[in-house]
Amino acid sequence: MLKQRLTDDMKAAMKGGDKVRLGVIRLINAAIKQREVDERTELDDTQVLAVLEKMLKQRRDSIAQYDAAGRDDLATQERFEVDILQAYLPEALPDAEVDALIDAAITATGAGSMRDMGKVIGALKAKVQGRADMGEVSRRVKARLAG
């Protein structure tokens, strides 16, 4: 399980004295625990991936804002956190495979216009979660359904 891997990596970072990595792993564990408390349930790997994706998106948004403001020190820290977060996500899908999955989802749902975008994204989400940026997937689906 992903949560067990996080716990093991946290212990290793503690023993190795890697304070920066330890801090990021603790942030991840805190976000997972917060969601578990809020929903009063234990998260499975799919839900943990959703938490990691949300954290990754937040970091990417922060990097863009820090770069625009000229805060390279903060942007560097966020990039380090992105690298650690990505280590816990599955390997990214190649663009060709994402396109093939989009085509299959459009065919399976019978989507023909932008009104059907929600159905297509719903069908794709489980297949690409953690393996592709959903914002990019959404942009591609929109382009296919529009043209």
Alpha-carbon Rg for the chain in angstroms: 18
Which distant-in-sequence residues (6+ apart) come within 8 Å of 82 by Cβ?
56, 59, 60, 63
Q: What are the extents of the domains in the chain?
A: 2-87, 95-146
Note the pTM of the prediction, 2 decimals: 0.79
Q: Residue 128 — very low, low, confident or very high, per pLDDT cuts 50/70/90?
A: confident
Q: Residue 113 — very low, low, confident or very high, per pLDDT cuts 50/70/90?
A: confident
Provide the 10 A C-beta neighbour count for residue 94.
Answer: 11
Per DSSP, the three-state class of 44 is coil
Helix (H), strand (E), coil (C) string for 87-135: HCCCCCCCHHHHHHHHHHHHHHHCCCCHHHHHHHHHHHHHHHCCCCCHH
Shortest CA distance to 60 belongs to which of 78, 83, 80? 78
What is the tens place of the pLDDT at every residue in 31-58? 999 999 999 999 998 899 889 989 999 9
Domain 2-87 shares a fold with domain 95-146: no
User: Domain 95-146 carries which CATH code?
Assistant: 1.10.10.410
- Cα 95 off chain centre by: 17
pLDDT of 147 above 90? no
User: Domain 2-87 carries which CATH code?
Assistant: 1.10.1510.10
Q: Residue 135 — very low, low, confident or very high, per pLDDT cuts 50/70/90?
A: confident
Return the pLDDT at 127: 86
